[in-house]
Amino acid sequence: MLQEIKKNPMYTYLMVLVICATAGLQGWMALFTNFAKEVVGVNGLEIGISQSVREIPGFLTFLAIYLLLWFKEHKLSAWSVVLMGVGIAMTGFLTSFDGLLLSTLIMSIGFHYFETTNKSLTIQYFTKQQSAIVFARLRGLGAAANVIIGIYVFLVSQYVSYQTNFLCLGILVVCVGVYSLMQNPIQKEMPIQKTKLVLKKKYWLYYVINFLSGARRQIFTVFAIFLLVEKYELHVSHVALLFIVNNITTYFANPLISKAINKYGERVVLSLESASLFILFLGYAFIDNVWIVAGLYVLDSLFFNFSIGINTYLQKIASPRDIAPSTAVGFTINHISAVVIPLIGGTLWMINPILPFIIGAFLTVVNLGFIQKIK
């Protein structure tokens, strides 16, 4: 099946963009928390605000539907990567809190619009049996690129300025995006996607699971790493090393996750994720050992990949012409919680740092209940 997948030009097209975008985001994340803390001087509330700003474009991804009136979807995907690179390159030059928010917003617009088009194109151009493998394969290749980026940050972060690191990373992402704009992976007729919002009652469970997944993701990406940086004072090189371990784990685990989805179904895989996260979030809250907490972060990263099941679930229940608009709406709903959680979590952090993780544990229980409704 993998050989058949590789013959599809869309696979190569998405592979190049996914590797570029995920490596760009990984490099940005590996540098961002320490940059924000050491150069900009943010506190827990401000880091929450910055991450809420980062998720605002995700909340507005439904607007991608209207951009498809002017852009072919694969072209929009490449332009999004170009914009992402511009935002990354700017980051090191804007050292005020307002500047941090501006560069974060620009980077995020590009990344989130790429993510929604990437998911939509994968579901459209590959069969129900192939899509889980494609999602897992692309994530695995992205993880491999992230390992290289992580090694780079680990080795040079003590010798090269944040400004130079962000600039070089951004230029690389822009160049790959421009290269992709010159490619044409379209070789067969596909159902014309609706260019208006699609909200249907039959997709309600997909919407709910997406909303709860967004909340879980923010606690992982914002507060878990901030806990390690602020409480345990991890240096940027240590954060990069942790990301390297995460991505090595992701590379080897994703093929197994795709096989599990095809064999056991989305309900089993997503249930395992939610049950495990309940334990992990309580661990963040109450375990006071840097090595154990770092281990929880690695496991957290591993279970993050189980969210492939949300995308394959949509493919099984959606009409062919609803794929693009439904993906965009699902991404928007995912980011309703992603915008709110960092603000609430940042405020709670200032009261007691364990509170965001207690909220996370509660939400995983709620999510587990809804997942049982998947047929």
Question: What confidence score (pLDDT) does residue 213 get?
Answer: 85
Alpha-carbon distances of 128 from 88, 136, 263, rounded to whole Å? 35, 13, 12
Amino acid at 95: T
Which conformational region is residue 318 in: left (phi greater than 0), alpha (psi within -120 to 50 degrees), or beta? beta
CATH number of the domain at 171, please.
1.20.1250.20
- Of the candidates 330, 317, 337, the one whose C-alpha atom is nearest the C-alpha of residue 197 is 330
The closest alpha carbon to 261, from 131, 117, 95, belongs to 131
Average pLDDT, the chain: 85
**Position 197 confidence tier, pLDDT thresholds 50, 70, 90:** low
Q: Residue 343 and residue 326: Cα distance in Å, rounded?
A: 27
Q: Are 368 and 77 in contact (CB under 8 A)?
A: no
Say how many domains are in the chain. Answer: 1
Q: Per-residue pLDDT tens for 56-114?
A: 777 676 676 677 778 888 898 999 999 999 999 999 898 889 999 999 999 999 998 89
Rounded CA gap, 214 and 345, in Å? 13
Name the pTM for this structure. Answer: 0.74
For 106-150, how does the pLDDT look when each residue is reduced to its tens digit (9 = 90+)?
999 999 889 888 888 888 888 888 888 888 888 888 888 888 888
Q: State which amino acid sits at residue 310.
A: I
Q: What is the residue range of 107's domain?
A: 2-371
The CA–CA distances, whole Å, from 99 to 36, 39, 160, 187 equal 11, 12, 21, 43
Rounded to a whole number, what is the distance in angstroms from the first to the last CA of the chain?
26
Of the candidates 84, 102, 76, which has an alpha carbon nearest to the alpha carbon of residue 26?
84
Provide the H-helix boundaries in the chain.
2-6, 9-35, 44-59, 64-67, 73-91, 97-125, 128-156, 162-181, 204-218, 225-230, 236-264, 266-286, 290-304, 308-317, 323-351, 355-371
Mean pLDDT of the region 3-32: 88
- H/E segment holding residue 348: helix 323-351
The pLDDT value recorded for residue 67 is 75
Cα–Cα distance, 113 to 14 (Å, whole number): 14
Torsional sign, CA 345, 59, 134, 75: negative
